[in-house]
Amino acid sequence: MPADRAHERGSAAVEFALLLPILLLLLLALVQVGVIARDSLVLTQASRAGAREAAVQGRAMRSRTRSGPPPSVWIPHASTWTRRGAEPVVRR
């Protein structure tokens, strides 16, 4: 083996050891970009589906939601708390 080749014998392993972390970092960054892109697409699709569902069944959904006052309300003309649907108790 010539003398100049003896010094280059382990250079490929050293170069590989120096480049491996950079290559792994680039690979993991690419995977993360893919995950973020997929999450963005899933979120967009879910919001479109929700908007479509609300537009198609808007009237039915509004009737299913709770309307009216909360379960416990203060009735100004009465002097006590009451439950929704119950007759207010008025002290005289």
- Are the CB atoms for 68 and 84 separated by under 8 Å? yes
| pTM given for the model | 0.51
Task: Give the H/E segment covering residue 72.
Answer: strand 72-74
| pLDDT at site 46 | 93
pLDDT tens per residue across span 41-51: 999 999 999 88
pLDDT band at 39 (very low <50, low <70, confident <90, very high): very high
Residue 4 has pLDDT above 70, yes or no: no
pLDDT tens per residue across span 62-73: 555 555 555 555
14 is written with which tokens? 């050293």
